[in-house]
Structure 1
Amino acid sequence: MIDKSHRSKALLVAGCFFMEMLDGTIVTTAAPQMARSLHVSSAAIGLIITSFLLTFAALIPLSGWLTRRWGTRPVFLAAIAVFTLASLGCALSTTLPVLVAMRVVQGFGGAMMVPVGRLIVLAGAEKSDLMRLMAYVVWPGLMAPVVAPLAGGLITTYASWPWMFGINIPLGVVAFAVAWRVVEATPTERPPRLDRLGVVLTCAGLGGLTYAGHLFSEQNISWAAAITTALVSLALLTAAVRHLLRAEAPLVNLRVLRIPTLRASVSGGSLFWIVVGAGPFLMPLLFQNVFGWSSVKSGAVVLFIFVGNIGIKPATTPLLNRFGFRPVLIAATLAMAAAMATAGLLTAATPIILTCAVVLISGIARSVAMTAFSTVSFSDVAPEQMPDANSIAATAFQMSAGLAIAVSTIALRAGGPLGHLLPGTPDARTAYTVAFLILTLFSLCVTGTALRMHPDAGARVRRIRTAAPAAPANEAS
């Protein structure tokens, strides 16, 4: 059984994760209202989203070094305080430059808050408790992208856009108070000097790649700028990898990726995070732009993703304990592939119950797979390797979540020319069919990663019921 202290920490980090993920996606709904209020174009509002995601993704690798230097408790408390105060600054902003600056500060707090919080949950936890603890942490983050459009719509309809940031203030105060009470101080160490070259290369590469994703997702895309930014960012990340593998005291020790379960989780889980973020983005667009549904009807159907997430949660740990990580991941990723392929075939004439069933299955698959990936990633990681493994996993997953919208947008645009390769006459639905088929291929690639996992992967964190040993033959007689 998980002790009360670890459960409280897991729920605390889950709440922070939800608040952080919600804050990264809720702004989209309020873009028109914010543009009018700040006297700028709607396109400029994209900076509010990008500045947060860029800072967040770029600074996550620093979390491991900071916790070694200052300890998890002070860094976590400071991160919650910075995020909450920056949320207040966002709510009080009256000009775009001030709001973007506050979002950068908010991204800095977020980059430390959840990665360090997850490290607190992992520290001292028994391997056999890891699965249930990670289940607590993961599902609020999966829920936020589904709830964000509805929450943003309600806030902008019945209040005003500053309240999207204002709701973080009481949540942050409560989180700080709980963290002050349940998070214990840990011994600090004297880490090597900060790897400044590693910081520059890694942060610039991750930030640039996030910005490239923003450029690719713009309505009037500048292909030259987007492609150039992406190529430069990839070059910086390549240089960063070479440096981190050669440095005596790197910012992040990439050698931990030699652990097969961590490597499989980072590669497969990152690709799956793109599908997880792209599905809730494409489905409302399909329902409203092609089917002609109202935003309320569309939002209600998409909420079945949330129903699937919550409904399967009590069964996730028993499934993993009973069947193991490899079979469950194969089944979950295949189910997601089937759901994405079926979503591309939906029409306005499809019975609503069937549409809801497809959305529900996608919610179940995403919850099971991400809980499995998040748990198995740390199953074979030694305590001294945990800060590096946590930084790598957090960075990879956050980058994928941030790039999901860009991938969705590119897939939709590819649906125009590629749609002519499909049977029948192309129409408004064809682009979405192609986009969902691309997500299907992504899911199948993740299935391939799961198939390559060892059958006993994650055995250390499973609680396997074994039958009582039979009595020796001479005793049985």
Structure 2
Amino acid sequence: MEQLDSTIVNTAVPAMAASLNVAPLSLKAVAASYILSLAVCIPVSGWIADKYGTRRVFSAAIAVFTISSVLCGLAQSIAWLIAARILQGIGAAMMMPVGRLTVIRTFPKAELLQAMNFVIIPALIGPLLGPTIGGLIVHWLSWREIFFVNAPIGAIALWLALSHMPDYRGGAAPPLDWLGLALFGGGTALLSWLLEIFGEHEIAAAPAVALFCLSLAMLGGYWRHALHAPFPLLRLALFRFRTFRVSVIGGFVTRLGVGGLPFLTPLLFQVGLGYSPWESGLLMMPTAAAAMAMKTISRRVLARFGYKRVLIVNTVMIGATIALYALVAKTTPLVAIVAIGLALGFFNSLQFSSMNSMAYADVPEKDSSQASTIASSFQQISMSFGLALGSLIAGWYLDGLPQSNHAAVIAALHKAFLTLGVLTVLSSLSFWTLRARDGESVSGAAPELA
């Protein structure tokens, strides 16, 4: 449901912008607010799940997500829509990490990669069908109906969660680190907001620099606080495990390049190339289909070549594929656009499977809740920053020209894709610190094959 919602919304951005009388690039606040609320609220998800149980928290999250989806569909202004998306993000913040935590606690490490892939394949039905469903809904009805789709899905998901979800608890939960939440959540929220505002050129340089320094001071203050607090919100001591550290930090850097694609690609297809929403949705289906196919073989790929080689080479391939979008124009054959989408889905899927599973290779089971919370937090923060970065780069290349100028828009998007591709290739350097046999405990690799 969460995956379906995010992909549907991206397809409907131009229609939503026209309905609310704003420029398409300005609607990045709708996507950014959702991702930002995820990043701010995810840090407390592990604590809440340990205290109240995975079943209760997961079910409540589904209910909040479903209700807020209806509120999104009823929005009459961009401010209303952003507020509803923030509430929706709060619900989603409890779904993904709590669901991942349940999987981690259910399966042994040797089966973790296979279990995570098995769980994520049904979730990829959302990205597979979301763009097309969203495009058809926007084409035949209106963008509001894309949010109402979540109502029946949410009701079914809630019944399934209450009936079948395991109810794990972490024993006596420590006191919640309110100071840590204020420092970490406030710092990340302020930094992401600054990226969005800067992209719209609505703030003077002096206040921007002051707020940027404040956000860094808050994050630095959290780092210092976490090193001495008895029960920190995010236990940074887990970064002493090399596989966890590389997975989280390397994944953060890589997602900065990838994070802007779900927002920029529909703009390229609709605003730049003139495709209708449903045609744009069809062009995004190959990416999700290739991602599903890769999940079925990723364990064998990692067992054969090892995490280090896969992550280094695959990151370069992702960057090269992103850069290929800079060649897409109105004269580009449809088969070439589909091929780029297939390649992107294939490499992205392998990348995320590798990074997400390697994070738990060496972390003790007693720290699984904290590891899941930290990994999910940094993942969402990087996607939020990546979304803002992608929009910022495209806006900078547009250089004040009207977004109704299709030639200017497509030229700016081409340069943005090329820039993001180069940044992604450079992010492969973060995986060179891995060792050849890192990740064997979760990939099932035999020592001689690592």
Pairwise TM-score range, normalised by the shorter structure: 0.7 to 0.9
Determine the C-alpha separation between the residues in 1 that align with 2:330 and 2:5. 34
Instruction: Decide which of 367, 372, 394 is 2:349's aligned counterpart.
Output: 367
Per-residue displacement from partner, 1:20-78 (whole Å, max 9, x unpaired)?
Answer: 64476466244235426xxx998986654444333222111011221222222221121
Q: Partner amino acid for 1:449?
A: S
How far does the alpha carbon of each residue in 1:216-254 deviate from its partner, in whole angstroms, 9 at most, with x for none? 443x55453655544432221121111112212211111
* 1:265 CA drift (Å): 0.9
Paired residues of 1:27 and 1:49 also in contact (CA < 8 A):
no
Aligned residue number for residue 264 of structure 2: 282
Give the Cα separation in 2 of the matches to 1:434 and 1:62.
38
Aligned letter for 2:432? L
TM-score by length of 2: 0.86
Unpaired runs of 5+ residues, structure 2, are 400-406
SS of corresponding position for 2:196: helix
**Counterpart pick for 1:53 among 18, 22, 35:** 35
**Partner SS, residue 60 of structure 1:** helix
1:378-437 deviation line (CA, Å, top 9, x unaligned)? 1111111111111111011111222223211222245479xxxxxxxx987654443233
Matched residue, 2:145: 163
2:427 aligns with 446
Shift of 1:357: 2.1
Residue matched to 1:31: 16
Deviation string, structure 1 residues 349-388 (Cα, Å, up to 9, x no partner): 4444333323321221111111111111111111111111
- CA shift at 1:157, angstroms? 2.6
Is 2:189 aligned against 1:204?
no
1:254–1:388 Cα contact (<8 Å) kept? no
Count of equivalent residues = 440
Q: Which has the higher contact order (CA 8 A, sep 6+)?
A: 2
Q: Shift of the alpha carbon at 1:295?
A: 5.1
Q: Output the CA distance in 2 between the equivalents of 1:284 and 1:293.
A: 9
> SS of the residue aligned with 1:385?
helix
Q: Is structure 2 residue 94 aligned with structure 1 residue 112?
A: yes
Structure number, greater radius of gyration: 1
Q: State percent identity of aligned pairs.
A: 31
For residues 447-462 of structure 1, the aligned pairs below 5 Å read 447-462=428-443
1:80 aligns with 2:62: yes
Match for residue 386 of structure 1?
A: 368
> 1:435 corresponds to which residue?
416
Deviation larger for 344-353 or 63-72: 344-353
User: CA shift at 1:138, angstroms?
Assistant: 4.5
1: CA distance, partners of 2:104 / 2:357: 10
Q: Pick from 387, 395, 420 the counterpart of residue 377 of structure 2.
A: 395
Matches within 5 A, 1:6-21: 16-19=1-4, 21=6
Paired letter, 2:17? P
Instruction: Tell me if the contact between 2:9 and 2:134 (Cα under 8 Å) persists in the aligned partners.
Output: no
Q: How does 1:180-191 map to 2 (within 5 A)?
A: 180-191=162-173
CA distance in 2, matches of 1:297, 1:95: 27
Q: Counterparts of 1:143 and 1:386 in 2: how far apart (Å)?
A: 27
Q: Residue 232 of structure 2 aligns to a residue in which SS?
A: coil
CA contact under 8 A between 1:58 and 1:207: conserved in structure 2?
Answer: yes
Contact 1:22–1:148, Cα closer than 8 Å, also in 2: yes
Map of 2:444 onto structure 1: 463
Q: CA deviation at 1:296?
A: 5.2
Q: Is residue 87–residue 169 contact of structure 1 (8 Å, CA) maintained in 2?
A: yes
* Equivalence for 2:359: 377
Per mean C-alpha deviation after superposition, the further-off stretch among 387-396 and 44-53 is 44-53
Distance 1:374 1:134 in 2: 9
1:270-291, Cα deviation, whole Å (9 max, x unpaired): 2222333323433444445555
- Measured in 2, the distance between the counterparts of 1:184 and 1:309 equals 27
Unaligned regions of 5+ residues in structure 1, if any? 1-15, 418-425, 468-477
1:267 to 211, 232, 249: 249
Distance (Å, rounded) in 1 between the aligned partners of 2:329 and 2:142: 35
Q: CA offsets, 1:433-472, max 9 Å, x none?
A: 43233222222233212222111111001223689xxxxx
Question: 1:305-384 maps to which residues of 2 (within 5 A)?
Answer: 305-384=287-366
Partner of 2:402: none
Task: Report if the CA contact (8 A) 1:91-1:163 is conserved.
Answer: yes
The equivalent residue for 1:474 is: none
Q: What root-mean-square deviation, in Å, do the aligned CA atoms of Structure 1 and Structure 2 show?
A: 3.2
2:104 maps to 122
Is contact 1:72–1:120 with CA below 8 Å preserved after alignment?
Answer: yes
Deviation of residue 105 (structure 1)? 2.7
Aligned AA (1:412): A
Worse overlay, 455-464 or 366-375: 455-464
Instruction: Name the counterpart of 2:116.
Output: 134
2:128–2:289 CA contact under 8 A, matched in 1: no
Rounded to whole Å, the distance in 1 between the matches of 2:343 and 2:318 is 7
